[in-house]
Structure 1
């Protein structure tokens, strides 16, 4: 019987080494998946906490013609009036009326 154990012992050691390495890999994968799951839960929890700080709905921007302040007149329309209904004579308007640029 002693000779059979001597003959089978190297194969038994190889089998045990392969088996333990497979179990170690499975344990490592399980630990990594648990870490990823915890990180995902923490991220989701942080996102939910941030969402609680936000208002439920932001006010809509005012629609034209529905009240609110008028839109700015950036260079469009009539020039600003100075007095007596006459347009002001700023440096940008003088050449338009023929009063400058000699």
Structure 2
């Protein structure tokens, strides 16, 4: 049995060396991919933070520039003005307590 191990040992060493080299290469690529993904997320976060800072510096009278992915002008988000108040002091007229209004049945 010792003679067989003597003949197989050099091939076994070569196989282990090649296999460990391939594993090391895969691990290196995985680490690089993770670093690139992390850098990309940080860059996106920085862009958003810069947009928020820019929006805070603008005077309130100027419109805020559209953010990426939010659509351009006319893309939703337009709200109508509230109806004008009825009655005095911005409140609708109220009926007297306990008496229903005529025609509200």
Structure 1, unmatched stretches of 5+, are 59-102
Deviation track 1:39-77 (CA, whole Å, cap 9, x = no partner) reads 10110000010111223526xxxxxxxxxxxxxxxxxxx
1:67-82 paired onto structure 2 within 5 Å: none
Separation of aligned partners in 2, 1:22 and 1:9: 20
Q: Could you say what secondary structure the match of 2:64 adopts?
A: coil
Structure 2 residue ranges without an equivalent (≥5): 56-62, 66-105
1:51 and 2:51 are equivalent in the alignment: yes
Number of residue pairs matched by the alignment: 58
TM norm structure 1: 0.54
Per the alignment, in what secondary structure is the counterpart of residue 57 of structure 1?
A: coil
Instruction: Quote the offset at 1:14 in angstroms.
Output: 0.3
Residue equivalent to 2:2:
2
Q: Which has the larger radius of gyration?
A: 1
1:8-48 residue CA offsets vs partner (Å, 9 max, x unmatched): 00000000000000000000000000110111011000001
d(CA) in 2 for partners of 1:57, 1:31: 39
What TM-score, normalized by structure 2, do the two folds share?
A: 0.52
- 1:14 is aligned to 14
Aligned twin of 1:39: 39
Give the distance between the partners of 1:57 and 1:4, measured in 2 at CA: 79
